[in-house]
Every structure is written in C-alpha cells, then in structure tokens.
Amino acid sequence: MREEKLLIKNILVIGIIILFLGTCITPSVAMDNVKKSSIPISNGYIQNLIDNASAGDSIYIPNGTYYENIVIDKSISLLGEHKNTTIIDGNFNVNVVTITADWVNISGFTIQNSGNEFNNAGIFIVSNNNNINNNILSNNEYGIYISGCINCTISNNTVFFNKKTGIKILLCKNIIILGNIISNNECGIYLEGWSNHNINSNFISSNKKNGINLYCIGYSTIKDNIISNNRNGICSYNSGKNTFINNTINSNDINGLELSLTDSDTVCGNSILNNRVGIVLKSGFFIIINRNNILNNSEGICLSFICFWNTIKENNFINNKRDAFINNSFRNRWNGNYWNKPRILPKLIFGIICWYTPYPELREIVIPWIPQIDWHPAKEPYDIEV
C-alpha cells in the first residue's frame, strides 16, 4: 500500500514538472509564430537593418512586400525568405537596390518597379566581388546594371519583362553570368568594354532585339547557352578573341550569330538552327568557325563587307536553303565541312563582288563569282554534341 502511494506521488510530481515546462515553452513558440506571420511593409524596414548591421553580417528578410529603394554600402549578405514572396518594390523611383560596397550577396528576392529614368535598374552595382543569386527581376528599366566592376557573379536568376536590357555590363572585367533565365526584355544580355567574361548555361529567349550583344569585348567565353526566339541570337561588334562554344541558337527572327568588325574569335560546338541567317560575319578577321551544327536556316553562313583570313572547318551544314554566301570577302579558308550530303568533288561557294559608282544611273555594280572552295568536304556529318 505504501509503495502504491509512493508511485502515485511520483506520477503527480512528474505531471506537475511537464505542466510547468509546457507553460514555459508555449510563449516561445507563440512568439515565433507571431514573428513569422507579421509582414513588415513599412517604408525603410530593410534599409534600417542595413544601417544597423556590421560588415560580414547576414540579414534575413521574412516574406512580405517592402516598398523601398535601398543602398547597400557594407559587405553583407541580404537573404530573402523566398524569392516569390519576399518582394522589394521600388515604387517606380530610381534604382530599387544600389550596391556600392564590395563583397555583397543578394539572394531570395523579387526586385521590381525601378524608376524609368536613364540607367535605373532593379539592381545597380558599382563595386567588386558581388554575388547576385536566385532572384526574380521584373518590370525595371534594366534588370541588373553593373558598371566599372570586377569579379561579380550573376547566377540562377529569372530576369524578364524589363523595359530595356535584362543584364547590362558596362566597362567591367571578370563577370560571370551563369544559369539565368533571361526573357522578354528589349535585349537579353548587353556587354560593352573590357574583357574576360563568362556567359555560360543561360536560357535566353523572346527578347525583342538581341539575345546576347557584345561591343568592344575580348577574351570572353560564351558557352552552353540556349538562345531562341530573339530578333538576333548573338551579335558581336568591334570585338575579338572571344570563344563561342556549345551554344544552341535557334528560331531567332533574323540572325543566329552575327560577328561584325571582329578579330580572332573562335566559334565552336554550337547548334545554330531555324534562323534567317545562321552565322553572319561582317568585316571579321582571323575568326575560327569550327564544329558547329548549322541547320534549317534560310542561309547557313554569310561573309560580307570585307572578311579576310577566316577559317570555316568541320561544320555540319544541313537543310539550309542556302548553305553559304560570300559578299566582298576574300582569302578565307574552307576545309572539311559536311555539305548536306556526302561529297567527293570540292564544294564551290558562290558569292558576289559589288561596288558603288558616282553615276546615278549605275549606282551599284554587282558581279557574281565563285570566290572560295572547300577542297576537302566531309563524306558524312560530324558527331557534334551540344
């Protein structure tokens, strides 16, 4: 009997302890729930956290819509709870996010509604070694604008429906653009000035003008991208010593790949299909076009406006209405290409010479000719993996 009373007493003591612990834990859980369910929308919430942070801090922003134009002037990480539901809205006023400090990371946000003035952007960067990852940038003047910077990475973002360019890089070096979806902008990616960029594994589609535009760019690699349904796939002007490798370029309205006033590029391992013209060279020199699939275009490749000393070798030309055409271009080397069917005899590549006269009645003189020959055409298509 005494043992039974002792057992009951022990059970009551344990019950009281559990009840006491429950009353301590419940408020803590309740507080966590309150924190998660409260959605700050007040102006200045994020900027206030940045102002009170120290270099090296990580700032976590819960779901909500924040109507702010923030400036990040410290080396911090700004992390949203979820990119679809953590929104920074610039309310159509200047840049939504401006980064002036080095070593800044931004991840997990929708960034939208920048101002419509000149060069306003969802994210505007004028510093080095920054990382922009896993964000949505929409309805800005520019999605991301980077000026005068080195060693920045833009990866795994969705950049769409921005009024001008999705990602603009101006006078920068060592910029990595990796794994982004870039669509329905005026231009997909625009790079101007300096060198050593890597544009890899992006999906670039349905931009009104060019998918990728290079101007005065050198020593850069454009690799493993899918570029489709733009006005032009890739346009390169006044650029050289770039490498285009393993891209799929299809269904663009005019040109798949256009190289103009270009020197010493390498074009290798691409699938270029369903364009009006697959590859266009304008005033290009010492360019290597090697082992590409050039398929189903109205015109496979066009060399025009004085192209010299270029090499076009070991490409597959298949089901193009016209495989190649030469306009005022000389001393180019064609070798070992597959021309839609097995060939034993050399492949003649037709073209024209034209010049303009001062006489109104005879403004342009055009002479058809056969300027170049592939002396050793391939007997079967190459196995080119893209």
342-360 pLDDT per residue, tens: 999 999 999 998 877 777 6
- pLDDT band, very low/low/confident/very high, at 41 (cuts 50, 70, 90): low
Identify which of 96, 111, 106, 104 has the alpha carbon closest to the alpha carbon of residue 74. Answer: 104
Task: Give the per-residue pLDDT at 38.
Answer: 39
Q: Are 262 and 286 in contact (CB under 8 A)?
A: no
Task: Give the per-residue pLDDT at 6.
Answer: 40
Q: Are 121 and 145 in contact (CB under 8 A)?
A: yes
Pick the CATH number of 40-185 from 2.160.20.10, 3.40.50.300, 3.40.640.10, 3.40.980.10: 2.160.20.10
Task: Calculate mean pLDDT across residues 316-337.
Answer: 95
pLDDT of 270-287, one tens digit each? 999 999 999 999 999 999
Least confident segment among 116-120, 271-275, 320-324: 116-120
Q: Measured between alpha carbons, how far is 324 from 320 in angstroms, rounded to an integer?
A: 9
Cα 11 to Cα 5, 8, 18, 22, 23, distances in angstroms: 10, 5, 11, 17, 19
Judging by beta carbons within 10 Å of its beta carbon (0-12, 13-18, 19+), is residue 27 exposed, middle or buried? exposed
Percent of the chain topping pLDDT 70: 88
Give CATH 2.160.20.10 domain extents, the chain: 40-185
Whole-prediction pTM value? Answer: 0.86
pLDDT of 202-242, one tens digit each? 999 999 999 999 999 999 999 999 999 999 999 999 999 99
Task: Give the per-residue pLDDT at 363.
Answer: 67
pLDDT of 182-199, one tens digit each? 999 999 999 999 899 999
- pLDDT band, very low/low/confident/very high, at 42 (cuts 50, 70, 90): low
Task: Give the per-residue pLDDT at 305.
Answer: 86
| Host H or E run for residue 31 | helix 2-37
Higher pLDDT: 99 or 118? It is 99
